[in-house]
Amino acid sequence: MADKEILIFVEGPSDKVFLEVYLYFLERFPIKNFKVQNVDGKDNLSKRLLEIEKYDKTLIIFDADKDYESNKKEILKIVSESKQTISEEQIFLFPNNQDDGDLETLLLKIANHKEFINCFESYLDCIKKKEHYKPIKNIRKSKWYAYLEALGLEKFFQYTWDTKKKNNKKKLIIDDKDGDEIEIKDQYKGDYEELKKVLDLNSKSLIPLKNFLGQFAENNQKTNPKIF
């Protein structure tokens, strides 16, 4: 384990892929000191908190969903009941740690090709007028994956289902080749380069997340600067 390794718990597999890619993109942060783990939903957080003692610090990055305040309080309650020491400052809720929403809310904001998203909105307007229309569940997620599929990148965020273990197979985007040098795995390098074209990873919408991560990056531990 790297010195001062920081564990980051996220809710799902897509969150893990995005966060690992974003940390890699933020070259100034020592990604080798961050370990991102998917807990497969908030309901599993309490039992996963038992794993944190071997890490220097633990961060929790979940979705705010429909109520930022109540979700933050619920996570703090789970942490308190587990007797673990995680402060509110170690918790970040997508999209920006203050508003309601989720990872997809953030991703749609930083999408470069808004014309594709507008096409999806037109599709929604069309089907809403049809006789047998039923409301689409997880509309932001559907919109996000439609955007990726239109650009040929849907497989980058997809996980395959392990029928034996009844869970998502682990997908390793980041490759720790020699214990020090961190790279995108060879089979994903092309997709990573394309992803940088379709997402604005320098967007102002990412500043809250960047500042949050920056507080805990090894080279910022002493001064805790904010990044603008």
Max mean pLDDT among 2-6, 16-20, 96-100, 133-137 falls in: 96-100
pLDDT at 74: 97
- According to DSSP H, which parts of 57-177 are helical? 68-81, 103-109, 114-128, 139-150
Q: What is the pLDDT of residues 177-196, one digit of tens each?
A: 555 556 788 888 899 999 99
Tokens of 61: 């990055």
Contact 108, 143 (CB under 8 A): yes
Tell me the C-alpha distance between 90 and 108, whole Å: 25
Averaged over 92-117, what is the pLDDT?
97
Q: What is the pLDDT of residues 146-188, one digit of tens each?
A: 999 999 998 887 765 444 555 555 566 776 555 555 678 888 8
The pTM of this model reads 0.86
pLDDT at 53: 85
Q: What Cα–Cα distance (Å) separates residue 167 from each residue in 2, 52, 137?
A: 28, 22, 22
State which amino acid sits at residue 116: F
How many C-beta atoms lie closer than 10 Å to residue 121's C-beta? 11
